Amino acid sequence: MNRNGPLALIFHCLFLGFLLAPILIVCAVAFTSQGYLSLPTEGLSLRWFRAIGDNPEFIRAFKDSLLLGAVSSTLAILVAVPAALAIARHQFFGREAIQALFLSPLMVPHIVLGIAFLRFFTMIGLGGTFAGLVLSHVIIILPFALRLILAASTGMDRAVENAAASLGASSWTCFRRVTLPLILPGVASGWVLAFINSFDEVTMTVFIASPETTTLPVRLFLYIQDNIDPLVAAVSAVLIFLTVAAMLVLDRVYGLERLLVGKGRD
């Protein structure tokens, strides 16, 4: 009984086909040799990939996205690690409320955050700046980092820490040499998940980004709203190739299921 019947397998194949179809068609159209949107039936061509080089704004947006993801995930980790340690191992008044506050951005639609940040940043003079993008991204990716670090710190054995402390290690040494290495898998996966969420964010960023400082998804989105041509397909295809490569590495090193299901155990 614990096997899939033929009907189940047909369903499964259709399901995978449904999931893959739009991704494959983007990659296929990117290879067209024609000047308009079409499947590459007349022969493959790399002309649209070369055309990306003539549009430096895509490359600049890509670099900005990478930098934004890296900076905001690192900041989110710096804030989330102490907070996770406080929540995971101390009983204190307001603990549940603080945890709920840190996870609350998950409940707020990104469109609402975009509107809120646009208004706020224009008022305090951060409108359209890279700093504004970083701060807003820290808020939305912190819950993802926090959840994984929280799982790692809850599951960790505290006897080792106590041993270090009783042997005379200061709290900083204890944290640096004992606690941090033990929760490092959770911290690393938290950083990766935060980076992915920052890199893919479009709804909120579209409000805060300026023509000078923008991210690749926002640039793509605004371009698609005006017209769809093989150039955006080529940019998307490059993005898909890079994501798949990163995904395979991630799956090898850490396990995609573990990252996404959120079982931050070692």
- Least separation, in Å, of the C-beta of 69 and another protein? 12
- Least separation, in Å, of the C-beta of 36 and another protein? 8
- Residue with smaller CB distance to another protein, 25 or 184: 25
Q: Are 209 and 116 in contact (CB under 8 A)?
A: no
- Residue with smaller CB distance to another protein, 178 or 239: 239
- Residue with smaller CB distance to another protein, 38 or 184: 38
- Residue with smaller CB distance to another protein, 174 or 185: 174
Q: Are 84 and 149 in contact (CB under 8 A)?
A: yes
- Least separation, in Å, of the C-beta of 188 and another protein? 16
- Least separation, in Å, of the C-beta of 27 and another protein? 9
- Least separation, in Å, of the C-beta of 70 and another protein? 16
- Residue with smaller CB distance to another protein, 52 or 216: 216
